[in-house]
Amino acid sequence: MDNARATGSAPLAKLRLILDSIRFEHTIFALPFAYLGMVRAAEGLPTLSQLLWITVAMASARTLAMSANRIIDRHQDALNPRTASRPLPAGRLKLREMSALAAFSLVALLVAAAMLNPLALALAPVAAAMVVGYSYTKRFTWTSHFALGWADGIAPAGAWIGVTGSLAWEPVLMAFIVATWIGGFDILYACQDYRFDVEHGLHSIPQRFGIPAALMWARAMHLLTSASLLALGIWLGLGFPHYIGWALASALLVYEHRLVSPTDLSRLNMAFFNVNGYIALIVFGFTFASIYV
């Protein structure tokens, strides 16, 4: 009986290990912005089919991005003390298992896009190339943070296309908001690996300009995030809930930056895992509410 129970629990344990490796729960960061693009495109609630396939597409795109990142960076992760304990470099996951997850995610993304409309399907390979390709950029340019930002910025624009089958300037501005938000935080996050990047020839803004300057870059990026979010409300004439959400999100961005300093990055994970999740939910919730005011 005990052996049967152990055999049955092994696949679940492996699944938990895989999901933990790609931080699947952090899908919440980009998904609310995808839903924001979706409800703005639908001018309210989309169809149940659109909601389902947009959710599948966004979750699949992020899973593809993270699994590909773990595969591409596995050798560097094995050398970096901060990441050496990750399941793939530590040997707790096999390369073929992570590769299978990446392949499954790509197929799921293409199927979801096909179920939405022809333009979504035509652009799905472009989106896949962006979310996979950003992992290579730090090997040759310190602008890699911007590449990651634009890869995540696909979310609202992709959801808009999923609903309307076309693109407009509104989702482009929403994509810019996401790109500056994620790109700014990625600069902060890269400060943890400053010494490793310098020693191993990997490129980042902290590696190129130093940690104090990198913190200034991140603040400038998040200032653009806040200003663009405000501009979105003014441009579209959104109701007052949008501005409440803007104020709360901006305050959380300020708080996020107060958690870190050039000499103390110990609370960086708290900023990433907690504050950014709240920002995404607040922006979506209050902007969605503004549609009905």
Q: Would you give the distance in Å from CA 176 to the centre of its chain? A: 13
Split at pLDDT 50, 70, 90, the class of 272 is: low
Q: How far apart are CA 17 and CA 253, in angstroms?
A: 31
Q: What is the pLDDT of residue 138?
A: 95
Compute the average pLDDT of residues 194-210.
95
Tell which residue, 38, 54, 279, 289, has the closest CA to residue 181. Answer: 279
The mean per-residue pLDDT over the stretch 47-68 comes to 94
- Largest Cα–Cα distance of the chain, in whole Å? 65
Convert the pLDDT of each residue in 171-193 to its tens digit: 999 999 999 999 999 999 999 99
Q: Which amino acid is at 111?
A: V
d(CA 173, CA 186): 20
CATH, domain range 25-291:
1.10.357.140
Q: How close are the terminal C-alpha atoms of the chain, in Å?
A: 59
Cα angle 159, 163, 168 (rounded to 5 degrees) comes to: 75
So what's the pLDDT on residue 163? 96
User: pLDDT (tens digit, 9 = 90+) per residue, 122-150?
Assistant: 999 999 999 999 999 999 999 999 999 99
- Local confidence band at 2 (pLDDT 50, 70, 90 cut-offs): very low
CB atoms within 10 A of CB 255: 12
With 70 as the cut, is the pLDDT of residue 5 above it?
Answer: no
